[in-house]
Chains A and B, each alone.
Chain A
Amino acid sequence: MNLTILILILPLISFLILGVWGKWLKPAQAGLLGTISLALVTLLSYYTAWQYFTMPRTPEGTFETLMPYNFTWLAFTETLHFDMGILLDPISVMMLVVISTVSLMVHIYSLGYMHGEKGFQRYYAFLSLFTMSMLGLVVATNIFQMYLFWELVGVSSYLLIGFYYTKPAAVAASKKAFIVTRFADLGFLVGILFYGFYAGTFTFSPTQTALVAGGAAMLPLALGLMFIGGAGKSAMFPLHIWLPDAMEGPTPVSALIHAATMVVAGVYLVARMFPLFIAYAPETLEIIGWVGAFTAFFAAAIACVQTDIKRVLAFSTISQIGFMIVALGVCTGSDPHEGGLGYMASMFHLFTHAMFKALLFLGAGSIIHAVHSNEMKDMGGLRKYMPVTHITFLIACLAIAGIPPFSGFFSKDEILAASFAYSPVMGWVMTGIAALTAFYMFRLYFGIFWGKEVEVHGSHKPHESKLPMTFPLMFLAAVTCVAGFIPFGEFISSNGQAYHIHLDLTVAVTSVVIAVIAIVLATLIYMRPAQPVADKLAKNLAGLHSAASNRFYVDEIYQFVTHKIIFRYISTPIAWFDRHVIDGFFNFLAWGTNATSNSIRNLQSGQIQQYALVFLLGALALILILLLTF
């Protein structure tokens, strides 16, 4: 257990070495260094997980929460202090496994994808930084440490999205991501401060709170504010605007950050504070659930009409995170049998989604590498040329649609079961969104791999990618196939005790049937080269279609509010005040000093007679003073 500190230190060292000396390393060496350090981290994570989950359970039947390292950094009172340490409990160990696995796959993949790019060493340095930040976030012992690593994650994301810094679109996207998440983090920080004040502690467990009087009534507000921060990072509506733009970064970055790890930080935050939510703020949890549901629907609707494959996947991610948030939001108690099922379902879906979404993105990267374009209109009929990519992509699409025996089916099924247990309305809404998911994913699949071939680059036919790129695809596909059969509830559940997952047949059958109907619909519409039905639908529902293509104009609304209202009426007067009054005051001081010094400069003329004159006048003045006062 004491080796867990290496999990954080190894990527940090790798970042420092690659960052400082990267310029003098050859790209191959840099890539090897990053990948090897991450392979060690992955092995350590697996070892930690194995050790943790094979330890005997506590008398209550839960896994013991371990803190191999925890030292007090800054103490305010007995109970209120900033700590830095490593916390091992079921969800953090699971996250360690997920993050390190996906990160390792991305590292290996990038050896092929980023081959020959300028700034290769810088890329690997930033990847290491990101991995370290995310790992630190999940093992945080208290909310303050989590916030610290949260910001580090945001910075790494900014650096990676803006990797192609000569492209204005990439620079704008990285700024947007950073500003939106930073803005959300303002709510997070206020929430932390509220929480620290009213609960008297920064830790996560309800048993350690030292509530001040009336504190319990303010905790829902504090937790809600903290969720706002999580909503920013997890791209919930209306803070989702940065994620589609963040696709300007390299595709492996999208796979790592915007599919599997960073965007689930918000989900992880809610899961981490789940006991607090259940104990103090169950209504907030309900609100969170509905926010997640709306986001899931909103994003799925937009994804149906996007033509850039990475944008489709981005909106799909937003939608699936909505699912995870909904699963947490519908929890009403901490017993998995009565209302606490959603916790386990959310974590399970997090695990499986990380795997197949990373697979989807890496596959998309492989396709983009082959056709040198992101748009679906430049693709078609690729199944003849890229068999490995084709099969793995298909596996991932089936998983996300919720078809057994792939892992997505199991995790999504649990979410739907939890939703139905909460309320039938929520259950049917989520099922509908699941159907939409299947629909647009297969629209994407058919658009890429079937349909008319496009002549790109004249005689240059697309070809399958090299081994560094295909190996991660195959590995993740294998995981997607078997992960569904992991008895997840044995390890992670809302009260820590082993929960045996049993399949609710009504829910399962309903969801599979609806998913299959959606797939068949997509096949009928999109499989052939000519798509008359799609075109007719687009023409008849033109308004809806264009609105969805423009992402329902949320970006334009933001632009309008900031430019026309905030900038014009608030920022401009403040800027005027700053420039003229505050700067003017200091300019006046400087002018005054200058004028004064100019006026007395002539006292030092070098002319002896003037000096003597002043001397005499001074002496006479002194004499006069003495004369008049005595």
Chain B
Amino acid sequence: MEYYLIVSAIMFFAGIYGFFVRRNTLAILISIELILNATDINFAVFNRFLFPNGLEGHFFALFSIAISAAETAVAIAIMINIYRNIRSIQVRNLNEMKW
């Protein structure tokens, strides 16, 4: 089972690295997808190996997928709006709040 967890850990920290390093906001969102996926794998793995009689992890992963889809949609809508306003989606341009 640990091998699954290693895989998901690698994917998780790859996502974190991408979150820190990438300049394009959409790339950051992609890294977030990686993170979420890694956690979904973890849930599924735990459910399968530690609690084979229940389905909690399975359903958690299911709902996680649904929710991350919704969140991605909204995030992309926001990014499009930002792009319309400042013509750039570099994350270093997004450092001031509204004033």
Q: Residues on A close to B: CB < 8 A?
A: 605-609, 612-613, 616
Contact = CB atoms under 8 A, between A and B. Distances in A.
Contact of A609 (B19, B96, B97): B19
Interface in B47-94: 91-92, 94
Nearest to A604: B95
A603 to B, nearest CB: 13
B74 to A, nearest CB: 17
Contacts of A608: 28, 91, 94-95
Nearest to A609: B20
Contacts, number: 21
B16 interface: yes
A607 B91 contact: yes
B20 A606 contact: no
Contacts of B94: 606, 608
Contact of B91 (A609, A613, A616): A609
A514 to B, nearest CB: 93
B92 A607 contact: yes
Given A606-B95, A607-B95, 12 more contacts: A605-B95, A606-B96, A606-B97, A608-B28, A608-B94, A608-B95, A609-B20, A609-B21, A609-B28, A612-B19, A612-B20, A613-B20
Interface string B9-48: 0000000100111000000100000000000000000000
A613 B20 CA distance: 7
A602 to B, nearest CB: 12
A616 B16 CA distance: 9
Closest A-B pairs by Cβ, 10 of them = A606-B95, A609-B20, A607-B95, A613-B20, A606-B96, A612-B19, A608-B91, A605-B95, A607-B92, A612-B20
Nearest to A608: B91
Contacts of B21: 609
Contacts of A605: 95
11 contacts: A606-B94, A606-B95, A606-B96, A607-B92, A608-B94, A608-B95, A609-B20, A609-B21, A612-B20, A613-B20, A616-B16
A616 to B, nearest CB: 7
A26 to B, nearest CB: 57
Contacts of B19: 609, 612
A607 B21 CA distance: 12
A616 B28 CA distance: 15
A605 B20 CA distance: 15
A609 B19 CA distance: 7
Contacts of B97: 606
Contacts of B16: 616
A616 B21 CA distance: 14
A487 to B, nearest CB: 90
A605 B92 CA distance: 10
Contacts of A612: 19-20
A612 B21 CA distance: 11
Contacts of B91: 607-609
A609 B94 CA distance: 11
Contacts of A609: 19-21, 28, 91
A605 B28 CA distance: 18
A269 to B, nearest CB: 69
A293 to B, nearest CB: 82
Nearest to B21: A609
Contacts of A613: 20
A605 B93 CA distance: 11
A606 to B, nearest CB: 3
Nearest to A612: B19
A608 B91 CA distance: 8
Nearest to B94: A608
Contacts of B20: 609, 612-613
